[in-house]
């Protein structure tokens, strides 16, 4: 989908329109990187999952949180090779998961139901496990369940209706963040998000953090999987290196050589290379790659690919992992975080350490 085919209702909807191109091609990779690895013996702790009622979520009820410091959930998981004592840092992460409401039989549903148990388990076993767990070694993870917009809303013909769906999702997230702040007790925090989560995180930062004292408690924001402009915020800049705090990073991952995507039309989209944490276009060799967590959560793939900033995308070489030659996709959207699992985890520690200094 190109820019000329996206109705210019407003800037947000043009962004939603471009996301359709990304998500359509990412679904296949999602199966490879996330869903295919959901072997029952790996998720014994999911027996603690409790169904929640329908309607707007009540965040006083811990069951409306996919991840919460006061319960065991998939964000507390650690790949076997990394299992060691956790660092008890007084830092919190507010994590917003990507779209998991993709049921083709529910394309006319605007938003997910909170009492959709199969969807909630899908969320827990994919982004909460593979993405939110990155942060658990150095911070406490909070991830609200929310009435996410159906994936179909990204290219829904009735633009006003689609925007209402995203507004409904955001209203939940805003209330969850207010609850989070009330319980946070003034601690430093990180905002992390992917895909639809980043759509909402941008708005959340603008409305709650950018022009308030909260910006002084922001360690960093990891706004991944959707375009973020360098001047998106007034007081929160792009992270220029790994030593900066109170800033944000963003990237969207494609195989080297891809040019014709919706992202190439996004003027001035931020791309920070997660192997170097800079925005320059110098190729970062795979020797800088600490490790990815792909289709088997308990296996680390060492040095699977290089990475390079190219225009408005992060270009990488074809990731090398067992069976990888079978996968032809060039869009690594769903793997944006877990393709760089250990690099992100180490960067989180570095920014937290520097924040205290």
Whether the model pTM is above 0.85? yes
Q: Is 259 helix (H, G, I), strand (E, B) or coil?
A: coil
Q: State what percent of residues in the chain have pLDDT above 70.
A: 83
16 vs 52, residue with greater confidence:
52
pLDDT at 354: 96
Identify the band that residue 325 occupies on the pLDDT scale cut at 50, 70 and 90. Answer: confident
Mean pLDDT of 67-94: 89
- Does pLDDT of 243 surpass 80? yes
- Does pLDDT of 22 surpass 90? no
CA atoms of 105 and 332, how far apart (whole Å)? 25
- Does pLDDT of 98 surpass 70? yes
pLDDT at 178: 98
Give the distance between the most distant pair of CA atoms in the chain: 52
| Strand-pair category, 92-96 with 140-144 | parallel
Identify the band that residue 49 occupies on the pLDDT scale cut at 50, 70 and 90. Answer: low
Q: Which of 27-31, 232-236, 272-276 has the weakest average pLDDT?
A: 27-31
Give the H or E element holding residue 314.
Answer: strand 313-316
137, 86 contact by CB (below 8 A): yes
Give the H or E element holding residue 160.
Answer: helix 159-184
CA atoms of 111 and 113, how far apart (whole Å)? 7
CA atoms of 13 and 11, how far apart (whole Å)? 6
314: tokens are 């992060």
Identify the band that residue 264 occupies on the pLDDT scale cut at 50, 70 and 90. Answer: low
Highest mean pLDDT among 3-7, 43-47, 248-252: 248-252
């Amino acid at each position: 989908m190109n820019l000329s085919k996206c109705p210019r209702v407003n800037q947000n909807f043009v962004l939603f329109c471009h996301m359709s191109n990304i998500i359509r091609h990412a679904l296949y990779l999602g199966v490879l990187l996330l869903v295919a690895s959901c072997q029952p013996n790996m998720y014994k702790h999911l027996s603690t999952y409790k169904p929640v009622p329908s309607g707007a979520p009540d965040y006083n009820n811990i069951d409306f949180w996919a991840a919460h410091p006061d319960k065991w959930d998939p964000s507390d998981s650690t790949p076997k090779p990394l299992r060691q004592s956790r660092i008890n840092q007084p830092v919190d992460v507010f994590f917003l998961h990507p779209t998991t409401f993709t049921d083709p039989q529910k394309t006319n549903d605007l938003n997910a139901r909170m009492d959709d148990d199969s969807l909630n388990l899908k969320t827990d076993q994919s982004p909460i496990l593979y993405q939110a767990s990155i942060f658990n070694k150095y911070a406490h993870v909070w991830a609200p369940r929310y009435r996410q917009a159906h994936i179909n809303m990204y290219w829904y013909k009735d633009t006003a209706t689609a925007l209402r769906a995203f507004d409904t999702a955001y209203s939940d997230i805003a209330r969850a963040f207010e609850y989070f702040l009330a319980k946070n007790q003034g601690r430093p925090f990180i905002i992390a998000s992917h895909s639809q989560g980043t759509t909402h995180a941008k708005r959340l930062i603008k409305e709650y953090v950018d022009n308030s004292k909260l910006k002084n408690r922001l360690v960093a924001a990891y706004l991944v999987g959707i375009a973020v402009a360098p001047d998106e915020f007034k007081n929160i800049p792009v992270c220029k290196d790994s030593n900066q705090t109170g800033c944000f990073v963003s990237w969207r991952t494609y195989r080297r050589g891809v040019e014709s995507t919706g992202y190439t039309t996004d003027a001035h989209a931020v791309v920070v290379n997660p192997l170097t944490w800079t925005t320059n276009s110098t190729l970062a060799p795979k020797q800088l790659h600490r490790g990815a967590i792909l289709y088997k959560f308990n296996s680390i793939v060492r040095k699977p690919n290089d990475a390079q900033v190219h225009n408005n995308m992060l270009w990488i070489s074809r990731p090398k992992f067992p069976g990888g030659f079978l996968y032809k996709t060039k869009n690594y959207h769903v793997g944006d975080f877990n393709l760089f699992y250990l690099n992100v985890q180490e960067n989180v520690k570095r920014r937290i350490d520097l924040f205290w200094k």
